[in-house]
Amino acid sequence: MSPYLIFLVSFPILMIGILIYGEVLKYQAEKNDTTQGGRLPDIETAIVDLIAVVMRADGAVTKAELIQVKSFLLKGFGEERARSLLKKLRDTLKEKQITDIRRQCVQVNKRLTYKQKLALLALFFSIVSVEQLQSAEVKLLTLFAKYTRITSDDFSMLRSRHFSLSEWEKVLRMGENEKATPTFSNQLEEAYKVLGLSMGADMSQVKRAYRKLAMRWHPDRFAASSESEIAHASSMFREVNYAYRKICNAAPLA
Number of separate domains in the chain? 2
Residue 253 per-residue DSSP state: P
Which residues span the domain enclosing 105? Answer: 39-180
Query: What is the model's pLDDT at position 186?
Result: 66
pLDDT band at 193, cuts 50/70/90? confident
**222 occurs within a structural domain:** yes
- Which has more confidence, 254 or 70? 70
Beta strands in the chain (DSSP E): 34-35, 38-39
Q: Is residue 152 part of a domain?
A: yes
Instruction: Answer for the pair 38, 103: CB distance below 8 angstroms, yes or no.
Output: yes
Distance CA 71, CA 98 (A): 24
Residue 99 shares a structural domain with residue 129: yes
39-53: pLDDT as tens digits: 778 999 999 999 999
Average pLDDT, the chain: 80
46 shares a domain with 148: yes
Position 27: which residue type? Answer: Y
Residue 122: CATH number of its domain:
1.10.3680
Q: Do both 75 and 171 map to the same domain?
A: yes
- Is 7 part of any domain? no
DSSP SS3 for 30? helix
pLDDT at 184: 54
Does 48 share its domain with 169? yes
- The pair phi, psi for residue 38, each rounded to 5°, is 110, -165
Q: Are residues 77 and 112 part of one domain? A: yes
Domain annotation covers residue 18: no
Q: What pLDDT, in 10s, does the model give residues 131-165?
A: 788 888 999 999 999 999 999 999 999 998 888 88
145 and 168 belong to one structural domain: yes
What is the CA 2 to chain-centroid distance, rounded?
A: 70
Together in a domain, 105 and 70: yes
Which pLDDT belongs to residue 62?
Answer: 83
SS3 49: helix
- Is the residue at 25 inside a domain? no
Rounded Cα gap, residues 252 and 135, in angstroms: 23
Last residue of a domain, which of 180, 210, 230? 180
Q: What is the DSSP letter of 112?
A: S
Asked whether the beta carbons of 218 and 237 are under 8 A apart, the reply is: yes
Does residue 127 lie within any of the structural domains?
A: yes
SS3 call for 97? coil
Shared domain check, 58 and 154: yes
In a domain, residue 203? The reply is: yes
